[in-house]
């Protein structure tokens, strides 16, 4: 484990750290785009760095015990949640098919559990919070209300430009859609009060 907290690592540094720590799991990282989507790197918020690291520790332990290698083919954010797409390489495994299937189910279960945990983990600051998806500029994020209001999750230049012009539209998305009109700077406090109210429900 690095001395620096994973949530503090820039994506480029995190990329290098993970590939060196788990070379078998990220063996496709340097392959071209016509062979893998892992070529695009780790497309997740810093708040999910620790979550992915913890998952990889478990998967690497399984690799050492069984020879089953979880090979990631894409790491990304989709619809406000983490997606850890993977294959399982059985070429170095000496177990019979029944045992391989059982271990494979465990691997898939661990990956699924980590993805579900991302639904209640802020993708910016890694703080746990109640599930509440928020869309900004048509892009759905999972971030705690503090990070959403402070604008820390806004990294795309086009969204920053919209923020500066006070043209951002915000929606919270769950079973019910709550919609806001175009926001001005003066309306941000009302948005914060609204999010505070629905988060307590």
pLDDT confidence of residue 61: 95
Euclidean distance between CA atoms 130 and 117, whole angstroms: 11
pLDDT confidence of residue 154: 47
CA distances from 14 to 10, 83, 173 (A): 6, 17, 30
pLDDT confidence of residue 177: 28
Top mean-pLDDT range of 59-63, 75-79, 122-126, 193-197: 59-63
178 compared with 44, residue with greater pLDDT: 44
β-pair type (170-173, 133-136): antiparallel
pTM listed for this prediction: 0.73
156 compared with 91, residue with greater pLDDT: 91
DSSP string, 105-128: HHHHHHHHHHHHHHTTB-TTT--B
Q: pLDDT tens digits, residue range 130-152?
A: 655 666 555 666 777 777 766 65
Please check whether residue 43 is in contact with residue 50, taking contact to mean a CB–CB distance below 8 angstroms.
no
pLDDT(47) > 70: yes
Q: pLDDT tens digits, residue range 101-131?
A: 999 999 999 999 999 999 889 888 898 876 5
């Amino acid at each position: 484990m690095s001395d620096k907290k994973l949530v503090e690592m820039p994506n480029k540094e995190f990329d290098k750290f993970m590939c060196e720590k788990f070379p078998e799991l990220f063996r496709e990282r340097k392959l071209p785009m016509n062979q893998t989507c892992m070529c695009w790197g780790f497309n997740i918020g810093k708040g999910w760095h620790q979550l992915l690291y913890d998952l990889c520790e478990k998967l690497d332990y399984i690799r050492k015990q069984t020879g089953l290698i979880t090979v990631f083919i894409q790491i990304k954010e989709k619809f406000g949640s983490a997606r850890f797409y993977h294959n399982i390489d059985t070429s170095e495994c000496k177990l019979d098919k029944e045992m391989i299937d059982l271990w494979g189910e465990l691997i898939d279960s661990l990956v699924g559990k980590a993805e579900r945990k991302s639904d209640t983990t802020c993708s910016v600051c890694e703080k746990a919070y109640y599930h509440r998806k928020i869309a900004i500029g048509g892009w759905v994020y999972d971030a705690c209300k503090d990070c959403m209001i402070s604008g820390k999750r806004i990294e795309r230049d086009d969204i920053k430009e919209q923020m500066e012009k006070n043209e951002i539209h915000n929606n919270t998305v769950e079973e019910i859609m709550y919609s806001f009109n175009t926001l001005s700077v003066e309306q941000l406090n009302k948005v914060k009060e609204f999010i505070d109210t629905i988060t307590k429900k």
